[in-house]
Amino acid sequence: MVKELQRKIEWLEKQHEEQHALVESIESDRRLDRSSVAMKHLKDAKKEKLRLKDHITWMKELEKRLTDTTG
């Protein structure tokens, strides 16, 4: 179960990196496009990035608890 959890954490970290790149891209595009639609896309991308980060933190805590209890 711990190995499966580690694979999930790695996958989430990859998704987080991709989301970070997307946020950076949207922010750079936003310098040219100040519309409310662009702002909404940026806000949504940042929200997803934060959700992924929180999920990674939660999964790592779960992994730590599992490894502490199993040995």
The DSSP 8-state label assigned to residue 61 in this structure reads H
Show the domain range for 34. 2-70
The predicted pLDDT at position 13 comes to 97
Average pLDDT over residues 7-11: 97
The predicted pLDDT at position 71 comes to 62
Residues 6+ apart with CB under 8 A from 51: none
pLDDT digits (tens, 9 = 90+) for 12-44: 999 999 999 999 999 999 888 889 999 999 999
Percent over 90 (pLDDT), the chain: 82
The predicted pLDDT at position 31 comes to 87
Total tally of structural domains belonging to the chain: 1
Q: How far apart are the C-alpha atoms of 65 and 60, rounded to whole Å?
A: 9
**Alpha carbon of 61 to those of 23, 35, 56, 65: distances in Å?**
26, 39, 9, 6
